C-alpha cells in the first residue's frame, strides 16, 4: 500500500469484494480462531468494543477516512454500500465524537450493510440495539458532527491499528475485530475451520481432567527451560 | 460564574429549580437530541457511564463539591434534596474512590431523588440496580471514603467537563449526560421536540433507500469541495 | 515478603490455603463490605472488570506470574489447582494479550477452580459465559500467546496493585476484587458479618427518611469544621 | 455563568480585564502558592504541561472555544488581543490536533500576548522556544487544522477542568496552570503574598532540623487520631 | 499492502530505498511542514516522543515487527542496515518493555543507522543521549526482553498508527514522526519546500501586526458563516 | 508479607536498613543493569518519571502509606529518616494530588534523605531542582493536600506496582525505579557489577561492526525457529 499524496477527497467506486462463500464461512467462526489461523495478524486494538452487548457482524469492508468532528464522508459511503458490506471508518486523528447515529444506521441498513466498525464515537446506542444494527467503536458519545471537510471512501485505511483495504473481510464478536485480506479469505477460512475442528477433541480431554502439560507434552521442555518444583 | 475565593464550606439552601413542566418534557427526549438542540454545548465527557446497563434519569441538579477520598458532603446534600432532584457530584481533583453506595442511595431515594451523576467512583452497583437507583459515574470502585473535609453543596461546579449550576436540568441516558441551564429549559425542550419531530420523516425516507446525499442535497457542495469519484 | 532474586522458574506445590469455613463465610459477603472490614486494604485497582456481567467468585488463590505474550505458566498452574481455588495471574509487565480462553477454562473448571483473576487480557468471553466460568481481567483481547518463557506458580505476586500470596482468599463481584490474607480470613469474616448486620438497621432508618446527618451525629462536627448555610 | 443556547458564533469585544497591578503581583508568585491562597480552586488538570521546559506566563485571559480539528477562531481571537493577554483555548470535545504553530505565535506576540494555554495540541515547538512564546498544552502534535466551523471568542469556557471567564488572570509555571477570577485578583494576591511571607521562616526552621511534627504541633492530634509507634 | 497470511518469520533483504537526494532535502524540513505538504497523511500518533530532548532524525526505513517482550528481531534487523537507514519497530500488540538499549544502539550506529522509531519502550536513555543516537518511543522502561519468538524484518508495518513500508522516508523532530512513501519522496520535498518558502513572507507580515483575518481574507467567510460581534 | 488487618495508623521505628556498602555499590550502577541482575523483578511501572531531567538517587527505603489528598504521614515519616534514606510513598488509591513540595523537601534534606519516590503528585518542582532534591513521581500537580487521616510509616507497601519493604534499596535514574530487597543487596550488587563488566567488551565488538547475530550465536537458533530470508 504505497500511500499516495493527496489521498483525501477520493471515492473509489469499484472495489474487489472478498468471495461471498469465504465470507459466509468466516461468519460462522470466532474472531480469536480466525486471528490464530491467520498467523496472528490483522487484529484491531482491544479498545474497540461493541456498542451493545450482543453486537457481532461479518462482511466486506467499505472503508471511510473521516476528519475529526465531521461525518460528511459517511453519507458518501452510504451510496457505495452493497448488501453484505460492513463500513469501516477510520479518522485522520484520535477523535471520539459521535460520528454515527440511528439515521445513518437506517440508511446503511436499507442498503444492506451488516454493521459498522469505527475508530471514533457513536450515539443513539439504544436505538441501534433496537434496530439490531451492530456497531463496534472506541467510544459512545452524544456529541454530533458537522459536514464540511473531505475525507475519502474506499482507500486503504488504518483503523484501530489494523490495515483495512476495501473488500477485505471484517469479523467482529465479543472478543474484538479482525480483518482478513480478501485475497486470502478462503485460505484463512480453511485454516480456521481446521483449527476449530481440533478444538472439540482437546476440549473433551481437558474436561475429562487431562492436563495441558500432558496433552501438549510440555513437561520436558519446561524442565529443559529450568522449571523447578519446590515444596 | 465568578468563582469566589473560599468557596469551600458553603451550603446554599434556596436554589432556583428549573420549571417542572420543562423538566418533564426533557425527560421524554434523548441526550443526543437535547445536546443538538442546545447548539452542542453542555455535554459531559464520554467517560461518564451508567453503573448498570438500563440506568437513565432526568431531574434538577443539587450540586456537590467533594474532596478526594471524602464523601462527607454527600450527607449534607441529602438534606437539600427535593423530589425530582438529581445529585451532581464533582471533586476538587481526579479521584475514583467509591464515594457512594447503597446506604446513601437509600437516603437519596427516600428524599425523592431521581439519581446520581458523579465524577468519581461508586460501589454496591448490584444493589443500586435492584433498587432502581440510576447512577452515572467515571468508575466502579469498592474503596470507601472518610468524612473529614468540607466541600460545598449547591455551588456551581465543573463535573466531567461541564458546568452545572444548582437547579439546572440534567438528563442521562445510554448516550451520556447533558446539562440544560434552568433558564433555557423550556426553550431547549421546544427546540429538541421540533428536532425530533423532523426525524421520523427523515428516518422513513432513509429506510426506503433514499440517500442522505440526496435528502440533504450534498452532491453539489461535495463536488465544489473537490470530491473525485474514480473507478 | 522478601522478594528473592531469581524468583522466576519456580513452582511451589504445597501452599497453605485459607480455612474453608472462612472462605465460605466470605463468599456470602460483598467485596465492598469485606474491604471495609479489613481496614481498607487489599483491593485491586478498579480497572479489573468482569468479562461478562454476572461474573463473581470466591476462592483460595493459586498465583501465577506470567511473562508478556506468554501463557505457558497457566498450564503449569492447572496441575496445582484444587477444588475451590481461584487462579490469580499477574504479569512481569503491563500486557493485555489474551492469555486465557475456553480451553484453559475447561481445564481449570475440570480441576475444580472457581474462576480467574488476571492482570491481562482474556478471550472466548462468550464461551466463558456459557460455561459459567467467571473471569475478572483488565482487557478482552483475541490475541493469543506463546509458550516459551518461564514464570512462576505460587509465589507472592502483585496483581492489579494488590499483593496476593498463595492460599489467600480472593473475592470478586460487581464492585471489584479484594484479597484477604489467609491468616486473617476468619477474623475478617467476623468483622464483615458484624458490619453487615448493622447495615440493615441503618438502611431501614434512611429509607424512613432519617438523614445521615442525624443518624451519624454529623451536625456538630460539620459546624465545628466551619460549614456555613446560606440562602 | 448561565450557559445560553447558541453560544457558538459569538465574539465579545469588550471584556473587563483584571487590574494590571494585581496581575503584576500575581506574576511574581508561584502557581502552587496562588492556588492555596484561593482556597484550592481554579486549578487546571495536571495533564496541561509546558511545550518547552522553561515556559511560564501570567496574563489576562482572552478565551476561545474551538471545534475539533479547526483553528479558525484563533485568528478571530488575535484581533481581540491586547498587550498582557494570555489566550486560553478550550475545545468542544477532547482533541489533540495541532491547532497552533509558529505563525499564529508570531501574530499573537506581535499583538502583545504573553502566551497560550490550550486544551489541545500545538506544533512548531522548537520555534516557539526560540521565539520565547510560552505555551501550555495537553499534547504536541504536528497535525494541522482547517478553518471551517464557528466557535466563539471571549465567552466563559471550561479549559482542562477549570472555568475561565474573559479577563481572568491566568498563571502558568512548572507546577501547572491556575485561574484567578478578575474580581478577586487583588484579594488573592494579598493572600498569596502573605502566605509566601510565612514560608521563609518555616523553611529556615525545617532546614535547621525542626520537624513539621513540632512546628505544626501535630503530635497531639496524631495521637488522638490513634497513631501507634511500634519497634 | 495485501497482508499475506504467515507474515511472521520473514526477512526481506532487498528493499527499494527512497532516493538519497530526496531524503537529504526532507532532512532539512520540519515534520509539521512535511505532513502538511503530503496532504496531512502519514503522521504517527502524538504519544511517540523523543527519548531525550534534542533527538531528531531523517532516514530510510528498515522495518521490524516485534513480539511483546522479545527483541530478537532487532538483532536480525541490524544486519539489514545500510548507512542512512532508520529502524522502525512495530509490535504485534501494545507493549512498553525496554526492547532497545545502548548495546543495540552501538551496533546500529556502527552500521550507519540514523536512529530508531519504536512503538514500544527503550532503556539506557542517558547513554543514548551521550552517544547521540536519537530514539522516538512510546515509553522509557528498564525492563529487558527475551530472544525467543520470530517476528519479521522489512515487511510493511503499522507503527503508532502509521503504515510504514521498508525504504520509506521517516522524519522525526520535536513535533513528532512522519512517514513519506519512497515513491513520492521527491514530490513531497518539492511541495514542502514550496510551502516553507511562503512562510517567511507570512511570518514577516504577521510580525508587523497584520492580522490573519486580513492576510487570509477571512472576514467575509466568517460573516457568511454567521459570526457575530457583540460588545 | 502477610498483610495484617488494620495496618493503618502504625509507625515502625526500628527498621533493618540494607548494608551501607551494598547501597554504595548499587548507587554506582544503572537501574536497567540492576533489574537484569535481579532476574527482572522489582521494577516500578514506567509512569514513574523524574520531576526534573537530571534527577537520580539511591538509598534505603523509609516507606509511607498515604491517604488520597492527605500528606499527614509525610511529616510523621520525616522523623524516621536517617542519612542515606529515600522516602517511598504509596497511596491507598490512585491519586495525583501534590503531596509534596519544597518545605517537606527542606525537612527531608535536613534529615539526610537522598530523595523521594512517590506514586502520586508533587509540586514546587522548580525549587526541588534548585535544591537538588531528586523526586520521581507519577504527576506534577500544584494541588495541595490536607492533614486529617492516618496512614502508616515503615510498613510494606506496593508503590507503582512494586513491593517495597522498609530498608530495601531503591535506585532511580533516567530509566526508572528499581527496588532491591535488603537481604539480597550485596548479592545483587555482585551480579550487576559482573554483568556490567561484560558489557564493555560487547560494546567494543558491536562498535567494531560485529553483529549481535554472530556475537550471540543467534543464526542457528533463528534458522531452527524457521526464519526465512527472501529477496
pLDDT 10s digits, B52-76: 999 999 999 999 999 999 999 999 9
* F78 contacts in chain D (CB < 8 Å): 211-213
**Are E and C touching by the rule of 3+ CB pairs within 8 Å?**
yes
Cell of A183: 485475497
Q: Which residues of E touch C67 (CB under 8 A)?
A: 69, 146
Residues 6+ apart with CB under 8 A from E104: E71, E74, E75, E78, F212
Distance CA D142, CA D146 (A): 13
Smallest CA–CA distance from B143 into chain F, residue: F93
Min Cα distance E59 → chain F (Å) is: 20
Best probe of the D interface among A66, A67, A68, by most D CBs < 10 A, is: A68
Q: What is the pLDDT of residue A108?
A: 98
Name the pLDDT band for A7 (thresholds 50, 70, 90): confident
Segment A104-138, tens digit of pLDDT: 999 999 999 999 999 999 999 999 999 999 999 99
Buried b (16+ CB within 10 A) or exposed e, C35-49: bbbbbbbbbbbbebb
Distance from CA of E113 to the nearest CA of A (A): 23
Query: Cα–Cα–Cα angle for D69, B163, D10, nearest 5°?
Result: 50
D88 near D117, Cβ under 8 Å? Answer: yes
Tell if the CB–CB gap between A10 and B43 is shorter than 8 Å. no
Give the pLDDT confidence of A171-216 residue by residue, as tens digits: 999 999 999 999 999 999 999 999 999 999 999 999 999 999 999 9
Could you report the per-residue pLDDT of D24-51, keeping only the tens digit for each? Answer: 999 999 999 999 999 898 999 999 999 9
Q: What burial letters (b/e) apply to C70-81, b meaning 16+ CB within 10 Å?
A: bbbbbbbbbbbb
The pLDDT value recorded for residue A5 is 54
Q: What is the mean pLDDT of residues F45-49?
A: 98
Quote the percentage of chain F above a pLDDT of 70.
97
- Tell me the Cα Rg of chain D: 20
End-to-end CA distance of chain F: 56
Q: Does C110 touch chain A (CB under 8 A)?
A: yes
Contacts of C162 in chain F (CB under 8 A): 158
The residue of chain E nearest to residue A157, with distances taken between CA atoms, is E163
Q: Count of alpha carbons within 13 Å of D146, Cβ hemisphere only?
A: 20
- B7 confidence band (pLDDT: 50, 70, 90): confident
DSSP C177: E
Residue E103, SS3 per DSSP: helix
Q: Give chains near C: 3+ CB pairs under 8 A.
A: A, B, E, F
Among D154, D54, D155, D137, which residue's Cα sits nearest to residue D96?
Answer: D137
E111 interaction partners in chain F (CB closer than 8 Å)? 209
The model's confidence at residue F91, banded by pLDDT at 50, 70 and 90, is very high
pLDDT for F24-44, tens place per residue?
A: 999 999 999 999 999 898 999
**E199/D13 touch (CB, cutoff 8 Å), yes or no:** no
Q: A134, A140, A99, A145: which is closest to A27 by C-alpha?
A: A134
Q: How confident is the model over D128-178, as pLDDT tens digits?
A: 999 999 999 999 999 999 999 999 999 999 999 999 999 999 999 999 999
Q: Which of E174, E227, E231 sits opposite D125 (nearest CB)?
A: E174
Distance CA C197, CA D42 (A): 43
CA-based nearest distance B15→chain F, Å? 30
Provide the b/e sequence for E44-61 (b: ≥16 CB within 10 Å).
bbbbbbbbbeebbbbbbb
Cα–Cα separations (whole angstroms), residue E87 to D26, E13, E155, E183, F214: 48, 14, 12, 19, 20
With pLDDT > 90 as the criterion, what percentage of chain C qualifies? 94
Q: How far apart are CA F126 and CA F135, in angstroms?
A: 12
Q: What is the pLDDT of residues C34-84, one digit of tens each?
A: 999 998 989 999 999 999 999 999 999 999 999 999 999 999 999 999 999
C-alpha cell at A57: 457482524
Cβ neighbours, 10 Å, residue B153: 27
Which tens digits make up the pLDDT trace of A130-162? 999 999 999 999 999 999 999 999 999 999 999
Among candidates F67, F96, F149 on the partner chain, residue whose Cβ is nearest the Cβ of B94:
F96
Arithmetic mean of pLDDT, B69-91: 98
| C213/B contact by beta carbon, under 8 A | yes
User: What does the mean pLDDT of chain D come to?
Assistant: 95
pLDDT in tens, A41-79: 999 999 999 999 999 999 999 999 999 999 999 999 999
Q: Is B133 on the interface with C (CB under 8 A)?
A: no
* Cell 511472521, residue located: E8
E10: enclosing H helix or E strand: strand E10-12
Is the CB of residue B69 less than 8 Å away from at least one CB of chain F?
Answer: yes
The separation between the first and the last C-alpha atoms of chain E, rounded to the nearest angstrom, is 56
All chains having 3 or more CB pairs closer than 8 angstroms to chain B? A, C, D, F
Helix (H) or strand (E) run with residue E91 in it: strand E85-91
pLDDT over threshold 50, residue B116: yes
Q: How far apart are CA D219 and CA A143, in angstroms?
A: 53
Q: Would you say residue F5 has pLDDT above 80?
A: no
Residue A190 makes CB contacts below 8 A (sequence gap 6+) with: none
pLDDT band at A2 (very low <50, low <70, confident <90, very high): very low
- The alpha-carbon radius of gyration of chain C (Å, integer) is 20
- CB-based contact, A160 to chain C, within 8 Å: no
**Inter-residue contact A153 to A122 (CB < 8 Å):** no
C183: DSSP letter: G
Phi-psi group of D44: left, alpha or beta (phi > 0 → left; psi -120 to 50 → alpha; rest → beta):
beta
Query: What is the residue-averaged pLDDT of chain A?
Result: 95
Q: Would you call A38 and E5 a contact, using CB atoms and an 8 Å cutoff?
A: yes
pLDDT of residue F76: 98
Q: Is B135 on the interface with C (CB under 8 A)?
A: no
* DSSP count for chain F of H helices, then E strands: 8, 12
Residue A41 cell numbers, joined: 495478524
Least CB-CB distance to D96: which of E46, E208, E222?
E46
* CA distance to partner chain C, nearest, from residue E95 (Å): 6
On whether the CB atoms of residues B64 and B155 are closer than 8 A, the answer is no
CA distance D86 to D97: 20
Q: Give the pLDDT band of residue F3 (cuts 50, 70, 90).
A: very low
Looking at the DSSP bridge assignments, the partners of residue E63 are E88
| pLDDT higher than 70, residue C110 | yes
DSSP state of D149: S
- Other C-beta atoms closer than 10 Å to the C-beta of C110 total 17
D 21-50: CB under 8 A from B:
38-42, 45
User: Chains with 3 or more CB pairs closer than 8 angstroms to A?
Assistant: B, C, D, E
All partners of chain F with 3 or more CB pairs under 8 angstroms: B, C, D, E
Question: Cβ of C102 under 8 Å from any chain A Cβ?
Answer: yes
Given a cut of 80, whether residue D2 has pLDDT beyond it is no
F6: nearest CA in chain C? Answer: C39
- Quick one: pLDDT band at residue E6, thresholds 50, 70, 90? low
Percent of chain D with pLDDT over 70: 97
| Interchain CB distance below 8 Å, D98 and E173 | no
Q: Which residues of E touch D100 (CB under 8 A)?
A: none
Instruction: Evaluate whether C117 touches C136 at the Cβ level (below 8 Å).
Output: yes
Q: Which helix (DSSP H) or strand (DSSP E) does residue E177 occupy?
A: strand E176-180
Distance from the Cα of A69 to chain D's closest Cα (Å) equals 6
Question: So what's the pLDDT on residue B8?
Answer: 87
- Cβ separation of B146 and F146 shorter than 8 Å? no
* Cβ neighbours for D15, distance < 8 A, ≥ 6 positions apart: D62, D80, D154, D166, D167
CB-CB neighbors (< 8 A) of A94 in chain D: 96
Please report which confidence band the pLDDT of residue E1 belongs to, taking 50, 70 and 90 as the band edges: very low
C160 backbone φψ class: left, alpha, beta (φ>0; ψ -120 to 50): left
- Confidence check: pLDDT of D123 > 50: yes
Q: Residue B225's pLDDT is what? A: 95
Q: How many CB atoms lie under 10 A from the CB of residue F198? A: 9
Let me know the angle formed at the C-alpha of A179 by A178 and A182, rounded to the nearest 5 degrees.
150
| Distance to chain E for D72, nearest Cα, Å | 9
Nearest Cα residue to E50 out of D125, D84, D170: D125
What is the structure's pLDDT at C58? 98
Percent pLDDT > 90 in chain B is 94
| Among the listed residues E36, D97, E180, D92, the one whose alpha carbon sits nearest the alpha carbon of residue A91 | D97
Residue B214 pLDDT grade (very low, low, confident, very high; cuts 50, 70, 90): very high
Say yes or no: A207 contacts chain E, CB-CB below 8 A: no
Q: Say whether pLDDT at E70 is over 60.
A: yes
Q: Is E143 within 8 Å of F30 when comparing Cβ atoms?
A: no
Q: Supply the ipTM of this predicted assembly.
A: 0.94
- Which among E92, D39, D193, E91 has a CA at the least distance from the CA of E100? E91
Q: Do chains E and A touch (3 or more CB pairs under 8 A)?
A: yes
φ/ψ of residue E221, rounded to 5: -60, -35
Asked if E7 and A39 come within 8 Å (Cβ–Cβ), the reply is yes
Residues of chain D contacting A93 with CB distance shorter than 8 Å: 69, 95-97, 141, 143
pLDDT in tens, F134-168: 999 999 999 999 999 999 999 999 999 999 999 99
Distance of CA F88 to the CA centre of its chain: 8
Amino acid at each position: 500500500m504505497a500511500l499516495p499524496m493527496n489521498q483525501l477527497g477520493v471515492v473509489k467506486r469499484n472495489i474487489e469484494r472478498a468471495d461471498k462463500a469465504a465470507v459466509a464461512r468466516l461468519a460462522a467462526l470466532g474472531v480469536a480462531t480466525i486471528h490464530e489461523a491467520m498467523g496472528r495478524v490483522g487484529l484491531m486494538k482491544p479498545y474497540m468494543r461493541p456498542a451493545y452487548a450482543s453486537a457481532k457482524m461479518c462482511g466486506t469492508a467499505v472503508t471511510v477516512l473521516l476528519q475529526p468532528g465531521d461525518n460528511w464522508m459517511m453519507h458518501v459511503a452510504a451510496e457505495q454500500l452493497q448488501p453484505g458490506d460492513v463500513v469501516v471508518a477510520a479518522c485522520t486523528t484520535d477523535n471520539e465524537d459521535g460520528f454515527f447515529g440511528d439515521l445513518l444506521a437506517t440508511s446503511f441498513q436499507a442498503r444492506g450493510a451488516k454493521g459498522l466498525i469505527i475508530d471514533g464515537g457513536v450515539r443513539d446506542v439504544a436505538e441501534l440495539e433496537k434496530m439490531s444494527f451492530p456497531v463496534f467503536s472506541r467510544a459512545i458519545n452524544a456529541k454530533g458532527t458537522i459536514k464540511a471537510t473531505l475525507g475519502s471512501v474506499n482507500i486503504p485505511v488504518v483503523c484501530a491499528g489494523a490495515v483495512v483495504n476495501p473488500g477485505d473481510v471484517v469479523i467482529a464478536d465479543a472478543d474484538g475485530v479482525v480483518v482478513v485480506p480478501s485475497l486470502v479469505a478462503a485460505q484463512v477460512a480453511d485454516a480456521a475451520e481446521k483449527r476449530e475442528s481440533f478444538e472439540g477433541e482437546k476440549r473433551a480431554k481437558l474436561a475429562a481432567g487431562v492436563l495441558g502439560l500432558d496433552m501438549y507434552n510440555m513437561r520436558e521442555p519446561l524442565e529443559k527451560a529450568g522449571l523447578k518444583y519446590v515444596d
